[in-house]
Chains A and B, each alone.
Chain A
């Protein structure tokens, strides 16, 4: 069948990272999807840190005070805020997927709209938690 004298067939490798980031524009639902994965991975990696903070706050009254002091550092607050966004986005997008599993909102327009709602609501809630974290009230 194949002619060994033929020159090798051209190979098309995977698309590159810059192409993924700039050339292709994902629809809103696609952005929610990849952020769902990214936030999940982030929370997975942060798990021991979060349990460590919980251990500190839970074991004794002195530990609780010490935890409050640790969370007082601006850098810790920024890390926590990113993790809070990760949790909220993963939560909201997860609710959307559970609803989609029930075959609700499957058409293109609704899917686009609910994706926007997920991004908006998780960011708005992050702002609320962030203001609380940085002591706005």
Chain B
């Protein structure tokens, strides 16, 4: 983000706009997930009986030979991981002051989220 900032003695060290990118990403990923939630809810409510085929079809339906169901689910999960990263990062930044502990928790958070993401994508796309 700060690649255009001046480097050297006149580099911007503090500023009101640090975190703007995260702020916007938090909102955009939220909107993506909210829309996907509504899509899924409509899908479940219009299903004729809660069957395995119907449930699977919510995530595997195709459009013009393209795997739209899987792509939408993947985009929603990527949004979730990104959104959760910013939120949990904020929690650590608010409550955990020692830098070492905070760094450790942030690394753990990333591993937790990337692990969850990889797990989900793998299930969604295999077979």
Contacts and interface: CB of A to CB of B under 8 A. Distances in A.
B88 A44 contact: yes
A57 interface: yes
Interface string B77-105: 00010001001100100000000000000
Contacts of B123: 51, 54-55, 58-59
Nearest to B38: A91
B27 A40 contact: no
Contacts of A31: none
Interface in A58-95: 58-59, 61, 64-65, 91, 94-95
B30 A44 contact: no
Contact of A48 (B30, B80, B91, B119): B119
B52 interface: yes
- Main SS at interface, chain B: helix
Given A61-B52, A98-B27, A98-B31, A40 B119 contact: no
Contacts of A64: 52, 55
Chain A interface mostly: helix
A54 B88 CA distance: 23
Interface residues of A, number: 21
B75 interface: no
A113 to B, nearest CB: 22
B42 to A, nearest CB: 15
